[in-house]
C-alpha cells in the first residue's frame, strides 16, 4: 500500500488520491467529463513541478479547470495533497510524459491555455533532443488548443530560450504576442528561486490562429 495515500479507517480513499486522473485507457483520448465533472475552460500546466503556480491559478480562477501534467510521482502526490488542502475542485493531476499527453491523451481543441514554465533546459548538446519545446511539440499542441488558445512559456535559461525562439518562429498556425510583465500571473516554485538569485526571466506568448 502506498504510504502517502493509505486508506482511512472507514476504508474510504484518501481525497488526494481522487485528484490524480488515471486514464482508464492510455491508448485512447481521455473523456474530459471523466476528468472534470464541470465543463469549463481548461488550462494545462506542463511540468507543473511542486504546484505553487497551479494551485495559485486554480484558487484565483475558480471558473476554470486546471490540469497539471508531471512525470515525477512524488511531485504529483504533493500537488494532489495541496489541492485537497486548498479545497480545489477545479484541479486534476496527470502523471505522464507531456509529449505523450499532447499527442495521445488530451482530446483535440480542448485546451484554452498551455503553460510551460521553466522546463528542464538540458544544456548539454547531446541532451538537447530531450528538450520539450520542439517542432513536434508545437504541432501536437496546435491540435489540442482551442482556436485562439494560448501557449505561455517562461525560462531562466538564455541558450534554451534562443533555441525556443527558432522553434516558435517556424511553428505554423500561431501568432506571437507581447507578454508584458504581469504581476497577476503567479510565480512558480522555480521562478521564485531564480528571481531570488537575481536571474533574468525570458518569456513568450503565442496564440493559435
Of the candidate residues 72, 89, 195, 199, the single one contacting ligand SAM (CB under 6 A) = 72
Of the candidate residues 153, 190, 204, 206, the single one contacting ligand SAM (CB under 6 A) = 190
The answer to whether residue 206 forms part of the interface with ligand SAM (CB under 6 A) is no
| Minimum CB distance to ligand SAM, residue 25 (Å) | 19
Longest alpha-carbon distance in the chain: 56
Name the one range near ligand SAM by CB under 6 A: 33-41, 136-144, 184-192, 201-209: 184-192
The answer to whether residue 157 forms part of the interface with ligand SAM (CB under 6 A) is no
Q: Rounded to an integer, what distance in angstroms lies between the CA atom of residue 130 and that of residue 122? A: 7
The answer to whether residue 93 forms part of the interface with ligand SAM (CB under 6 A) is no
Any bridge partners for residue 68, and if so which?
A: 45, 93
Question: 133: which residues sit within 8 A by CB, 6+ positions away?
Answer: 116, 119, 153, 160, 163, 164, 167, 168
Name the one range near ligand SAM by CB under 6 A: 30-38, 43-51, 81-89, 200-208: 43-51
Evaluated on CA atoms 130, 133, 134, 137, the torsion sign reads positive
Grid cell locating 7: 486508506
Give the footprint of ligand SAM on this chain (CB under 6 A).
47-49, 69-72, 75, 97-98, 117-120, 132, 188-191
Amino acid at each position: 500500500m502506498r504510504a502517502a495515500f493509505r486508506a482511512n479507517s472507514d476504508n474510504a480513499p484518501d481525497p488526494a488520491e481522487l485528484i490524480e486522473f488515471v486514464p482508464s485507457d492510455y491508448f485512447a483520448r481521455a473523456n474530459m467529463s471523466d476528468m472534470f465533472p464541470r465543463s469549463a475552460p481548461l488550462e494545462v500546466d506542463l511540468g507543473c513541478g511542486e504546484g505553487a503556480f497551479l494551485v495559485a491559478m486554480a484558487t484565483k480562477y475558480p471558473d476554470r479547470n486546471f490540469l497539471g501534467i508531471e512525470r515525477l510521482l512524488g511531485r504529483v502526490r504533493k500537488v494532489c495533497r495541496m489541492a485537497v488542502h486548498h479545497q480545489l475542485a477545479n484541479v486534476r493531476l496527470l502523471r505522464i510524459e507531456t509529449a505523450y499527453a499532447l499527442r495521445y491523451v488530451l482530446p483535440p481543441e480542448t485546451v484554452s491555455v498551455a503553460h510551460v514554465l521553466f522546463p528542464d533546459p538540458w544544456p548539454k548538446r547531446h541532451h538537447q533532443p530531450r528538450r520539450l519545446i520542439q517542432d513536434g511539440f508545437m504541432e501536437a499542441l496546435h491540435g489540442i488548443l482551442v482556436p485562439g488558445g494560448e501557449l505561455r512559456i517562461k525560462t531562466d535559461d538564455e541558450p534554451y530560450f534562443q533555441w525556443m525562439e527558432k522553434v516558435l518562429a517556424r511553428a505554423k498556425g500561431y501568432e506571437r504576442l507581447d507578454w508584458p510583465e504581469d504581476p497577476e500571473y503567479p510565480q512558480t516554485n522555480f521562478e521564485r528561486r531564480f528571481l531570488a538569485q537575481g536571474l533574468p526571466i525570458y518569456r513568450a506568448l503565442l496564440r493559435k490562429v
